[in-house]
Structure 1
């Protein structure tokens, strides 16, 4: 039996009234009731609300917003009809300027709390028009009562919210998803069931190039056999004017990983081309590309500024994807070397170098933590290193290698403040100094923020 002295002052189902004082890393409002922390999604700092307690932990509770008694001056009406049920966005109810201010604050607090780093964080670089910016949609497919569902997961669940239009997506992505959904329904193509691991079509992936408006469409399937393949392709093509190609991706594994390792071209080209910084980039289904094309230009410009190249340096771009950063920096460097673990992305990077007439770039397949020591043993030098890891951050082995080679400038591009805090703590303990922390809003109206950090070695 729980000690009454330590028991939370609330219980499940209780209706409480509280003031919202801030946001947590999940984009949820934070308030206190009888000194106990309460997280309430959909609230804004400055709100006074009623909420019902949903779940309890030792140090906090999560509650469902019931009513707003007093509105924050920063609260706005979300334009999306699905906002209250879809889990894709967390901050549409906040004025955009306030979103940027809170992201700056959350980043600084995370670096201090998890990394023990009291760093000045620059104001977030936002967008002039923070809507319709996403070049990629990854949409789960399901069925309910014989109706094909395609949309996004509800918060903290795998329940699919059927979304006709997403205010963050390029309109062509919306059109592509709708065309596939209608065609799957018309042809009665089997839809994947996550619980039983049966059925066929699991996800729809659409990637659209802002430069051309062309869309690459990917159908992720739980097996190779695609019924009505020719009719399926013909019907989709009839609905969409600007397709670059249609690809089938095979994923027969259980779990949350969306794409499998095998791509089968069904029609057209198995890639599309996007332009960034005057360069043209080939992008395949599994290749990484920043999802916000307009802001990628801002992000890469900041990376170039931090690199401070004179034309002589050897630059390493680790976790390089399709080589966008490496090639963007190539004109100011003596040599650029990209390292990437996904074979298709490496092939794209090499094709991108050739297509843009860039001769001072090379790309290696493998994990950065494995490849980097081998290249250094072969005599490569590293004057400037850019790391752009996935959400889990850098491998500890790679951080140790970076500490040994001590590049003059290290530029860390992060999509997760928590792992950034961890890795910056490691690097500062190894003799590096953080010079500037610049967040860039790659994901308006969501809790996510991209950060680029300039790090230099401390001379002994």
Structure 2
């Protein structure tokens, strides 16, 4: 199942009608209103490739996302109304800015223009934590005083490539990661002294080293230059330690709603064996642990595994085990031993779960699957395979995790279909 995302954005902006079907007067007024709204809200709209729906009233955004999810997975069952965010602004707890030169050779700090390497200057973004924006601008403003050069992609020279700031929603702790083009950081100690005087709320600073010719932000090597090298946050009543590279949902408020819905869907009674695939730093499994007998969390990324193990220890959990392995291979091994689980939580990347992974799921045959997806199209593709193999979608709930963008999160509950039942569509 495929869906043209540009078509989706166009349809939600025009109420499902083609532009030619609208009256000329209405079109002119709508265009003028939208232009005025954009100008008042974000001067970089349409350039930086970020908030593609900042010009769209919230109700239209939600209706468009609801329709998008329903089109992609509605054939498998009913889609519940989307869970909206009460105050949809300044929600991003992680902010990244790239540094470089503009076409005149002047230093610039901002976001990449959509589908290009051109940097659009951005000082303040309406969906980002204001503290993060302010810290990044402070760093940019300090560079000339210390004769520090930004990275030039064309020549491969210059020091500062990017800055990433994480803000812990519950604790207020802040991590700053400065990405440099090599280990050298002239006047680093003096620079940090001035930065911390201007931004005293910073908890820790990390220098990440990235010498690769790539648009990937973070490199493979880093060192802590101030503070503990991590920050801590609280999610669903559990503590989590975050490193610079840790995957952590960017909207903390909506993430709690998402995880609570997912855990409620699982219907845990304290007797179940739970498998958390793609566990990352262990968030879902840890949040569900007080309702389960046993949680098996599996993650391939070594850094994430270390974070997950620390988070299990930090929360003093004896019923959560973290394994460094490919989740699909791990499930195949379990199935070969005649083992299974009661509930599988899976939160795959945007590309969805691979066919090999889904075959591993079917081999282990969990009683219930709670599938969290950030891409309704690949979710639909994966549901087709799972439902053809004997599962039934019992419930689906979209969650507006990313207001003012065309992205939407969805959580689905699947259970094994009894042999004598069929799915009504």
Paired residue for 2:409? 450
- 1:416 is aligned, of 351, 370, 375, to 375
| 1:87 alignment partner, SS class | coil
Bigger mean CA offset, 254-263 vs 327-336: 254-263
Q: Give the whole-Å Cα distance in 2 for the aligned partners of 1:353 and 1:307.
A: 21
- 2:232 is aligned, of 273, 276, 287, to 273
Structure 1 position 379, deviation (Å): 6.4
Q: Give the whole-Å Cα distance in 1 for the aligned partners of 2:339 and 2:176.
A: 39
- 1:77 is aligned, of 37, 45, 55, to 37
Paired residue for 2:303? 344
Deviation per CA, 1:123-149: give whole Å up to 9, x if none: 110111000111001211112345432
Paired residue for 1:322? 281
Runs of 4+ in 1 over 6 A off after TM superposition: 46-50
- 2:48 is aligned, of 60, 75, 86, to 86
Paired residue for 1:38? none
Structure 1 position 451, deviation (Å): 0.7
Bigger mean CA offset, 229-238 vs 132-141: 229-238
Q: Give the whole-Å Cα distance in 1 for the aligned partners of 2:391 and 2:17.
A: 42
Q: How many residues align?
A: 408
Structure with larger RCO (C-alpha < 8 A, sep 6+): 2
C-alpha change, 1:111 and 1:195, in structure 2 (3 Å) is farther
Structure 1 position 118, deviation (Å): 5.1
Paired residue for 1:15? none
Paired residue for 1:179? 138
Q: Give the whole-Å Cα distance in 2 for the aligned partners of 1:449 and 1:74.
A: 26
- 1:299 is aligned, of 252, 258, 268, to 258
Paired residue for 2:399? 440
- 1:136 is aligned, of 94, 113, 118, to 94
CA contact (8 A) 1:48 1:68 kept: no
Paired residue for 1:58? none
Paired residue for 1:332? 291
CA contact (8 A) 1:314 1:384 kept: yes
Paired residue for 2:65? 103
Q: Give the whole-Å Cα distance in 2 for the aligned partners of 1:243 and 1:359.
A: 33
Give TM-score, length-normalised by structure 1: 0.83
Deviation per CA, 1:194-245: give whole Å up to 9, x if none: 3443333222110001112221000122322222221222222122121111
Paired residue for 2:23? none
Correspondence list, 1:281-292, <5 A: 281-292=240-251
Q: Give the whole-Å Cα distance in 1 for the aligned partners of 2:58 and 2:147.
A: 42
Q: Give the whole-Å Cα distance in 2 for the aligned partners of 1:148 and 1:68.
A: 39
C-alpha change, 1:320 and 1:228, in structure 2 (3 Å) is same
- 1:149 is aligned, of 93, 105, 108, to 108
Give TM-score, length-normalised by structure 2: 0.89
| 1:166 alignment partner, SS class | coil
C-alpha change, 1:99 and 1:251, in structure 2 (3 Å) is same
Structure 1 position 408, deviation (Å): 0.8
Paired residue for 2:422? none
Deviation per CA, 1:55-78: give whole Å up to 9, x if none: xxxxxxxxxxxx951428996824
| 1:345 alignment partner, SS class | helix
Structure 1 position 247, deviation (Å): 0.6
Query: Between Structure 1 and Structure 2, which shows a larger proportion of helix residues?
Result: 2
C-alpha change, 1:456 and 1:118, in structure 2 (3 Å) is closer
What's the Cα RMSD here? 2.5
Structure 1 position 27, deviation (Å): 7.3
CA contact (8 A) 2:93 2:169 kept: yes
Deviation per CA, 1:340-383: give whole Å up to 9, x if none: 12222211211111111211111112332233323555665311
- 1:199 is aligned, of 135, 139, 158, to 158
Paired residue for 2:200? 241
C-alpha change, 1:183 and 1:378, in structure 2 (3 Å) is farther
Structure 1 position 94, deviation (Å): 1.1
Structure 1: gaps (5+ residues): 1-22, 32-41, 51-66
CA contact (8 A) 1:48 1:69 kept: no
Q: Does residue 364 of structure 1 match 2:334?
A: no
Q: Give the whole-Å Cα distance in 2 for the aligned partners of 1:454 and 1:86.
A: 36
